[in-house]
Structure 1
Amino acid sequence: MHHDAPIFQPKDPDYAARVRASFGLQQAMQLIGAEMSAVEPGFVEIVLPHRPQITQQHGYIHGGVVGMIADSAAGYAANTLTPHDTSVLTVEYKLNLLAPADGQRLVARGEVIKPGRTLLITRAEVFAVRDEKWTLCAVMQQTIMAMHGKKEGAA
């Protein structure tokens, strides 16, 4: 997905360390077992190993969990392009579930479409990987709000 993506210049030279540290603060990602596997300007990849605790009644990974990793991958893709003192919040996303999330792992790839100063438009694709066969199981489009001068931490 990201090989054809536009090339963005980060405003923060330490964007990767900042984004990885922020991801580390997300207890929700720890709860489901997700890991950040790639951080590039305007692009983030999150990998989620299959665990029985995050499945729905048919044994597929729950659609809400698919949405969680799509949201985080695209949101952090946006965060790679914000200034060092700026955090991000999702204000909207639309998720299409195209196929069951039936994989030994899921891979969410988020990228920035348009990096505005206040609103950043992003998208993500989520793949279910089984025996190294990749199936596109979800696509998402998202709006992110940049909160300038607002550091992260407890509300």
Structure 2
Amino acid sequence: MGLLRAELPVIAPGRTEIHLPHWQGVEQQHGFVHGGVVGMIADSAAGYAAMTTVPQGASVLTVEYKINLVAPAVGSKLIARGTVLRPGRTLILTKAEVFGIDEGREKLCAVMQQTIMVMHGKDEK
């Protein structure tokens, strides 16, 4: 996330936010934030939200996600909001929404649903 200049300013039980400034290094050929970058921050926001629900000494790993890019990712920054839909001992279901922020207004640009596997006995590095 540091490579992309992303930050994790919101961490709460079952939810997180990742903020990504819009800069040339994350753009595709039309000046929008690249869809791969949008997917990356959605995956990470939802994964970190899942991490808030697992016991100490466990970790998480994405095993599947489906993302819909519903509008071009534009604005001065993007916010990915990850939320746990259903916590579980083995699998956690999450969602993420990614918004472009332009002059204080939010515009939805992506929606993701994700399945996370809990890795018991596997600490984070």
TM-score if structure 1 supplies the norm length?
A: 0.80
Residue 50 of structure 1 corresponds to which residue in structure 2? 22
Q: For 2:32 and 2:105, locate their aligned partners in 1 and report how far apart those are by CA, in whole Å.
A: 16
Residue 35, structure 1, aligned to residue 12, structure 2 = no
Identity of aligned residues (%): 62
| Higher RCO structure, 1 or 2 (CA under 8 Å, sep 6+) | 2
Residue 123, structure 1, aligned to residue 95, structure 2 = yes
Gaps of 5+ in 1: 1-28
Residue 89 of structure 1 corresponds to which residue in structure 2? 61
Residue 109 of structure 2 corresponds to which residue in structure 1? 137
Q: Deviations over 1:100-151 (max 9, x none)?
A: 0011000000000000101000000000001111100000000000100101
Residue 64 of structure 1 corresponds to which residue in structure 2? 36
Q: For 1:48 and 1:30, locate their aligned partners in 2 and report how far apart those are by CA, in whole Å.
A: 10
Q: For 1:34 and 1:83, locate their aligned partners in 2 and report how far apart those are by CA, in whole Å.
A: 26
SS in 2 for 1:47: strand
Give the Å deviation of 1:33: 0.8
Residue 74, structure 1, aligned to residue 38, structure 2 = no
Q: For 1:117 and 1:137, locate their aligned partners in 2 and report how far apart those are by CA, in whole Å.
A: 31
Q: Deviations over 1:16-54 (max 9, x none)?
A: xxxxxxxxxxxxx11111100101100001100111011
Q: For 1:103 and 1:59, locate their aligned partners in 2 and report how far apart those are by CA, in whole Å.
A: 10
SS in 1 for 2:2: helix
Q: CA RMSD in A?
A: 0.6
SS in 2 for 1:31: helix
Return the structure number with greater helix share: 1
Q: Which runs of 4+ in 1 moved over 2 A?
A: none
Return the structure number with greater strand share: 2
- Count of aligned pairs: 125
SS in 2 for 1:141: strand
TM-score if structure 2 supplies the norm length?
A: 0.98
Q: For 2:96 and 2:9, locate their aligned partners in 1 and report how far apart those are by CA, in whole Å.
A: 15
Give the Å deviation of 1:152: 2.0
Residue type matched to 1:48 in 2?
L
Q: Deviations over 1:65-85 (max 9, x none)?
A: 000000000001000000010
